[in-house]
Amino acid sequence: MIKISAAITAVGAYVPEYVLTNQILETMVDTNDEWITSRTGIKERRILKDEGKGTSYLAIKAAQNLIDKKGIDPKTIELVIVATATPDMKAASTASYTASQIGAVNAFSFDMDAACSSFLFGMSIAASYIESGKYKNVLLIGADKMSSIINYTDRATCIIFGDGAGAVLFEPNEEGLGLQDEYLRSDGTGREFLQATYGGSSFPLTPEAMAIGGQYAFQEGKTVFKNAVFNMADATVKILERNNLTKENVNWLAAHQANKRIIDATAQRIELEEEKVMINIHKYGNTTSATLPLLLSDYESQLKKGDNIIFAAFGGGFNWGAIYLKWAYNSRN
């Protein structure tokens, strides 16, 4: 019997038009372009400014971009997963709204949140549905409107994050392409170092909480940085070793774009050449669930059928991991 693997067969993306540059941030908080560039690699990020538009707006645009590019009928999509840390609302799934708006009327849908590892973990979920043989068209969207939980007077967080979305379609593959292996981990003792404390079930949002900016994300940057460097590199090494891969047969590293120095450290740990490391943090900053699919979108034209791609991420929780995937198609451009 032929083994069914789960391959990515299409990519879509969307970022909002408004560009928040380091120069503009210099006018908002006590920071400067030199500090931001040398410490993070970020030059600018995109922000969704329109009143009343949330993460679903970004998700819908990215999904529509994929649907147009691939020329698929949205009625054939069976499952829509929106990986996000910033859902539109509580108690109403962003994925359900997204699915309806893109015309995926025969799909079921749900949100999933693993902070900055949401898309990586979502890849595992989407692939499992395909590998089970139950579904043949799974749309995974990574979307976050980070600007909705960022305090633009806190220079430790506002320089890092941006808004955006990316989407991928998973389909069955009989050539052995697609997701090959995964190494995924969590450690809940890390949550105190990166969180938006108020507005959830532990501490509902009150006027008092809002007065101290409790709805915004804060992080103890140095602790998060150290854990990200260690764990992302460790997961990447493990996935290479387990699959007998060396730097020679890795074509690409697609690492979560949180800080250029974390990405460089991961690449250096496996001695990977710079030209194999996907980078777009300078353009978008950290878009949380959208970093990995935005990388795929930016690099899609360079990817070749059979390329070995290592995905890696680290995020709030803490949670992290790495996925080994064989690319399934040559660029249609």
Catalytic residues: 116, 256, 286
The reply on whether position 217 binds ligand UT7 by CB under 6 A is no
Print the binding letters for residues 119-148 with ligand UT7: x by CB under 6 A, - otherwise: ------------------------------
Closest separation in Å from C-beta 228 to ligand UT7: 4
Cα dihedral 109, 115, 116, 122 sign: negative
Between CA 310 and CA 277 the distance in angstroms is 10
Residue nearest to ligand UT7 according to CB distances in the complex: 221
Q: Which of 43, 53, 69, 155 binds ligand UT7 (CB under 6 A)?
A: 155
Q: What is the DSSP string of 122-133?
A: HHHHHHHHHHTT
Residue 92 in tokens = 């109403």
The reply on whether position 221 binds ligand UT7 by CB under 6 A is yes
**Is residue 54 within 8 Å of residue 31, measured between CB atoms?**
no
Binding residues with ligand UT7: total (CB under 6 A): 21
The reply on whether position 322 binds ligand UT7 by CB under 6 A is no
**Is residue 59 within 8 Å of residue 145, measured between CB atoms?**
no
Print the binding letters for residues 161-200 with ligand UT7: x by CB under 6 A, - otherwise: ---------------------------------x------
Strands 18-21 and 79-83: unpaired
Tell me how far apart the terminal alpha carbons of the chain are, to the nearest angstrom: 34
CB atoms within 10 A of CB 134: 11
- 10 Å CB burial of residue 174 (0-12, 13-18, 19+) is exposed
Print the binding letters for residues 19-58 with ligand UT7: x by CB under 6 A, - otherwise: ------------x---x---xx------------------
The reply on whether position 94 binds ligand UT7 by CB under 6 A is no
Binding site residues, ligand UT7, CB under 6 A: 31, 35, 39-40, 116, 155-156, 159, 194, 219, 221-222, 224-225, 228, 258-259, 262, 286, 314-315
